[in-house]
Structure 1
């Protein structure tokens, strides 16, 4: 039986980039797929027109319109409409390389005797404004991971930061049985949060060395820094509280915990860049959630926690912000 992919694409006023994302699917060398475009209440007429034109042009596009509720809600609406075997997430301003679906199909068919719950791959970060391509090479060979050797996969995924399964596909059967949806109270880290939950539900995972996703960046995201910080704090707090309930080794728990806390600290030291009226609320959140970092146990987390407790959130963050800015400038010079 032919494997069918369901590609979920949330759209909000990205009409000028949407066409390229859709065309990247038209160029796929594997043709058993559907594209579910979820219009999250777009307000510009160009986006609405291009979505309708794309649907008229390609028979494999489904359309869902909803009021603006955010990217998590849009992805959830898309998942309720899936008819395929595996789900792929594609943002409206990104692309899939031509062989992305066929390379995942190949490994899924090779393991036909035992269902794979997830296929992971490498991806490229294309910085359009700067003309740079940064390859995120997580896997240098194909491998199958199960519960017994999952710690090795965690090490590959999280030794250098957070990952969200970009360029992967996910069993819809597992998603359906577990009723696994995106947290709609998150607008940052919602993909990291969902991916980790899916990861722990998966019994067998394949990793392949192909570059199966082109993540395009055009400049700063439009989400306000305060909203990003609140969302990041919520996600970090959840995982610091709950990570130890999952069946993984202490080493993997520490690795994941530290990855979350480091990301959280990086968000925290951006508070001085917020608008003045937002900083007061952000410092209050920082002070209230400092225990999150303290629970992680790493040296950097302990230093951060101690600084916030002893100096107060505002002074601690301003010092760290200055130190980090100096570190970044030094990196650029070197």
Structure 2
């Protein structure tokens, strides 16, 4: 299927001489949640701003559903909704008025049924007549999402959508984003909460120093780069790892009472059975075992460090 967003050779150098983007190539598939991760200053916001028509690229091209963002900017921008990091809303307007106004900015005819559906989906219906200034920070962020959805875009950019939102509301927003994806909206998400990307994303892109260093389906990324630890609690402590176990990546911890086996998620799972057999053959008994798996955050940190 043709990607809904295609980015080729994208570069951006600001007047100060700082090069924020360096030859970015990126395809984003239709109907997926794509998490764009990177440290501060990596180029995430610049990339989003260019695709959304807020910043002009120095070089390269971007198409949204086949529409070039420069040559066919009106059609391209009509397909995009943007939820920025900053809480910028018309404070003295009611929720209903500000969301309806945003729809009109895109030349869409008034449609109360659409506004009602969006507000209900975002649990804002009971606040429709409330002035935005009277809402909590989390509810204001929901209003920003409602404004971005008011013209029924096919692509939604969420730049740090849950920043400053409490845990309960964040979970509700995750569920709402999942429903949007199920309805066919393509979602591009930037977040500092790596567990947020791990929870929701279908694909992960990592940007560092203005370059895309990795794009991968989340499941494949976790499988390819993830590490697992098997920790065995020993009945009797060991002073050192026996020579006959030297072929295994083992370490001792807990004053010799824990034997830790490190393996990747691709090919070494069968090694566990061999390890346990050898432990039994040499009279090493254990009372308990547990496994741990790398989180997306650990994989992300290792990728960025490696790049640096």
| TM tier, smaller | under 0.3
Q: Give the structure-2-normalised TM-score.
A: 0.25
Bigger relative contact order (CA 8 A; separation at least 6): 2
The structure in which a higher percent of residues are helix is 1
The structure in which a higher percent of residues are strand is 2
Larger radius of gyration: 2
